[in-house]
Amino acid sequence: MTDLAFEVRDVSYRYQQVPALDGLSLEIRRGERVALLGANGSGKSTLLRLLAALHFPDRGDILYFGESLSERRLQDEEFFFRFRRRVGVVFQNPDIQLFNPSVFDEVAFGPLQLRWPRDQIRGRVYETLETMGISRLADRAPHRLSGGEKKRVALASVLVLDPEILLLDEPAAALDPGSQSQITDFLVSWGGGSKTVVTATHDLDTLEDIADRCYVLENGKVAGEGAPLAILHDVPLLERTKLVRPHHHVHDPSAPQPGPHPHLHRRP
């Protein structure tokens, strides 16, 4: 079997005639942690949805471990269940992912759809809730939880299946610093480095912790690619793709570098 989890070949996609991806090509290897970087509208969330087979390209091909990831292929029941078992996706807004009456039911939903035995489901659900530190929430209604708790429940609802590939859309968005830290710590440790994790984000602060390699997207195309440290030091690329913004300020005249000079700020 190929060691490429995904191959994206000259893929284009439109939302109601508005281009979202435009001839994009990239590769994601098995066991690799990849960050998809880009400002809002760069195409990173759209790409995640295509990798999750929630949408399909208007043009081009996506291969999943060497097999075509197409609408026709997903109609094969054996492939469908195998793919959904191995690939999990967590959306930026957990509210669109949580719809069951309790946290326990939410985490049990995926295994039920995959027809696991009920005793196995119960044991696996409680194990996953414990791992995510949310056992106390098992009987709570998801819509009554805090943002950080909802995010962890959404993660648990995917991780209960022990997927080989995890697709994350802005996992730390709109969370308080403590919850952001918990999510980052989990991503660093999950799977002991054997899992494939693809994270769409514009947050550069945790980049070196969560990724081995980065793709920078701009207007639906790959604008840059490399290791996190190399990307973080490519200031012209970060400025051009609006991941940082230049700002000029003046130090005290007695400072080592007096007078106005450029200073980069990461975008919120």
In the chain, what are the domain boundaries?
Answer: 4-233
Give yes or no for residue 45 having a pLDDT over 50: yes
pLDDT band at 250 (very low <50, low <70, confident <90, very high): low
Domain boundaries 4-233, CATH class: alpha beta
Does the pTM exceed 0.85? yes
- Alpha carbon distance 95, 33 (integer Å): 26
Q: Of the given ranges (58-62, 119-123, 128-132), which has the lowest mean pLDDT?
A: 128-132
In this prediction, residue 168 carries a pLDDT of 93
169: tokens are 């859309």
- Alpha carbon distance 211, 204 (integer Å): 11
- Alpha carbon distance 227, 214 (integer Å): 6
Who has greater pLDDT, 127 or 181? 127
Give yes or no for residue 43 having a pLDDT over 90: yes
In this prediction, residue 38 carries a pLDDT of 93
In this structure, the number of other CB atoms found within 10 A of the CB of residue 187 comes to 22
Closest CA to 181 of 168, 172, 169, 192: 172
In this prediction, residue 175 carries a pLDDT of 74
Express each pLDDT in 212-239 by its tens digit. 999 999 999 999 999 999 999 999 999 9
For residue 255, give the amino acid letter: A
